[in-house]
Amino acid sequence: MLLAFDIGNSDITMGLWREGTWQVWRIPSRTDQPELFYGIKVRDYFLESALATDTVETIVVSSVVPGLTDKLKNVVRSLFKREPIILGPGVYEKLPIEVLNPYEIGSDLVANATAAYFKFKQTCIVVDFGTALTFTTVSGTGKIIGVSIVPGLRTALRALSQNTAKLFDVPLEMPKSSLGINTVTAIQSGIVIGYEGLVKHMVQTIRHELQTESPAIATGGLSFVITSLKPFFQVVDPQLTLDGLRIIGELMKNGQRS
Task: Give the pLDDT confidence score for residue 166 in this predicted structure.
Answer: 60
> Which of the four CATH numbers 3.40.50.280, 3.30.70.270, 3.20.19.10, 3.30.420.40 does domain 95-244 have?
3.30.420.40
Task: Give the pLDDT confidence score for residue 163 in this predicted structure.
Answer: 62
| Cβ pair 2, 249 in contact under 8 A | yes
Task: Give the pLDDT confidence score for residue 258 in this predicted structure.
Answer: 39
Task: Give the pLDDT confidence score for residue 161 in this predicted structure.
Answer: 72
Task: Give the pLDDT confidence score for residue 175 in this predicted structure.
Answer: 86
Task: Give the pLDDT confidence score for residue 171 in this predicted structure.
Answer: 80
Task: Give the pLDDT confidence score for residue 218 in this predicted structure.
Answer: 97
Domains 2-86 and 95-244 share a fold: yes
Strand 2-7 to 11-18 pairing: antiparallel
Question: Which one from 32, 54, 70, 108 is the annotated catalytic residue?
Answer: 108
pLDDT averaged per 10 residues in sequence order, the chain, 258 residues: 95 94 95 95 95 94 96 96 95 94 95 96 95 96 96 88 66 86 87 93 96 94 88 94 96 67
- Residue 33's Cβ-count burial label (10 Å; 0-12, 13-18, 19+) is middle
Task: Give the pLDDT confidence score for residue 164 in this predicted structure.
Answer: 63
**108 noted as active-site residue:** yes
Taking the C-alpha atoms of residue 149 and residue 122, their distance in angstroms, rounded to an integer, is: 22
Which CATH architecture best describes the domain 2-86?
2-Layer Sandwich (3.30)
Domain ranges (residues) in the chain:
2-86, 95-244
Taking the C-alpha atoms of residue 1 and residue 56, their distance in angstroms, rounded to an integer, is: 5
